[in-house]
Amino acid sequence: MTPADWISMALLAAGGAFCVVGAVGMLRMPDFYTRMHAASVIETLGAGLVIAGLMVQAGFTLASAKLAILAALIFFASPTATHALAKAAHERGVEPVLGEGGGEGGK
Amino acid sequence: MIYAPAIAALLATIGLALVRAFLGPTLFDRALAANAIGTVAMLLLAVLEFLTGRPEYTDLAMVYGLLNVVGTIAVLKFFRLGDLGRESPVDEGER
Amino acid sequence: MRKLSAAVSLFVFWVLLSGYFTPFLLTAGAVCAVAVVAFARRLEVVDPEGHPIDFSGSALRYWPWLGVEIVKSAWDVAKVIVHPRLPISPALVRVPATQKSALGRVVYANSITLTPGTVTIVAGRDEFLVHALTRAGAEGLASGDMDRRVTRFEGARQ
């Protein structure tokens, strides 16, 4: 394997590891809102590192440009979906579990 | 060989997210899990392109990503209004 | 000017997606780009919101900073998740938003949501209701650094 292969393998493995961590977080967290934070680890660092690893593999080609479009799509679309979920849950009256001193500040 | 760890991790992620989708308990937990599965499936398709050497998979991943977002919002809207066609009520005056 | 830039970016997008450089497909791409811009003009979506080229310069300065913030907070959230005792202290906070335009508020709300550990739940006219995973994340947001940067990002047009 060439050095570029090693770099891309490391990036891919790190991205995969963050995806698994995010999924474990989705299982461990106590309520819906905290699970949302775990899922956003998958969508930012997990997806970003996997795509970066693939871009190292692709080099400076059209495939790389497509992967960049894919990354841009994730980064623009995923907060919209997350916000839609959060707002829908809030309007449905799903109550967040709050930590000590975590009341609604400034209200 | 390069892709083996990534593919194993992504498949494990899908499995864990599926567990969350089964456990629930609310509709939103399931929708969140479905959304995460969609994102990971998109990444899996992108990795598959390099594994098989077929460039079509990135295009598939892009379409999958778009459908993932639209699908999540459609599910939420459907459960909120019981209908996909109606205008959503204006939120401005609510709070 | 905005229409020309929209048509050019659509054409570039076409070329990237197709990957073929035959005269027929390039012509078809150009025709499609112009047709889409013509339709978009009739829909009146080729405006500063639909095709925000005015922000290109400030976006190049804002995005790298946002990227670093995302990586830092994603790392923090990952550490919280793998910590055996799961040290979370979820909090709901109201964060003031000082942006003038709707676009600026969208950028700010999306930046908050994109950063792991904080999610915008309700985006109001001048304040957001934000759910934070840890007390530290809520305090980082309350310091207003991101708010100031987005306001500067938005104000770069004037």
Is the separation of the CB atoms in B48 and B57 below 8 Å? Answer: yes
Q: Does residue B89 or residue A13 have the better pLDDT?
A: A13
Asked if residue B50 is part of any domain, the answer here is yes
- Helix (H, G, I), strand (E, B), or coil: what is residue C130? strand
Q: How many of the other CB atoms lie within 10 Å of CB of A71?
A: 18
Question: Taking CB atoms and an 8 Å limit, are C78 and A18 in contact across chains?
Answer: yes
Is the separation of the CB atoms in A56 and A7 below 8 Å? Answer: yes
C-alpha to C-alpha distance for C32 and C105, rounded to whole angstroms: 33
Nearest CB to B95 within list C17, C19, C122: C122
Question: What type of residue sits at position B22?
Answer: F
If pLDDT is split at 50, 70 and 90, which confidence band does B94 have?
A: very low
pLDDT tens digits, residue range C40-99? 888 877 777 777 777 777 778 888 888 888 888 888 888 888 888 878 788 888 888 877
C131 lies within 8 A of chain A by CB: yes
Domain span at B61: 4-82
Q: CA A94: distance to chain centroid?
A: 23
pLDDT tens digits, residue range B1-34? 778 888 899 999 999 999 988 887 888 888 889 9
SS (H, E, C) B57-88: HHHHHHHHHHHHHHHHHHHHHHHHHCCCCCCC
pLDDT tens digits, residue range C102-130? 788 888 888 888 888 888 888 888 888 88
Q: CA C106: distance to chain centroid?
A: 7
C120 lies within 8 A of chain A by CB: yes
Domains of chain C: which residue ranges?
Answer: 2-43, 54-155
Q: What is the pLDDT of residue C112?
A: 87
Q: What is the pLDDT of residue A107?
A: 34
**Lookup: tokens for B82:** 């019981």
C33 to chain A, closest Cα gap in Å: 18
Q: Which of the residue ranges A55-64, C82-91, C147-156 would you say has the lowest mean pLDDT?
A: C147-156
Asked if residue B14 is part of any domain, the answer here is yes
Question: Number of structural domains, chain B?
Answer: 1
Asked if residue B35 is part of any domain, the answer here is yes
Asked if residue B87 is part of any domain, the answer here is no
C-alpha to C-alpha distance for C73 and A43, rounded to whole angstroms: 13
C-alpha to C-alpha distance for C142 and C124, rounded to whole angstroms: 16
Flag whether pLDDT at B74 surpasses 70: yes
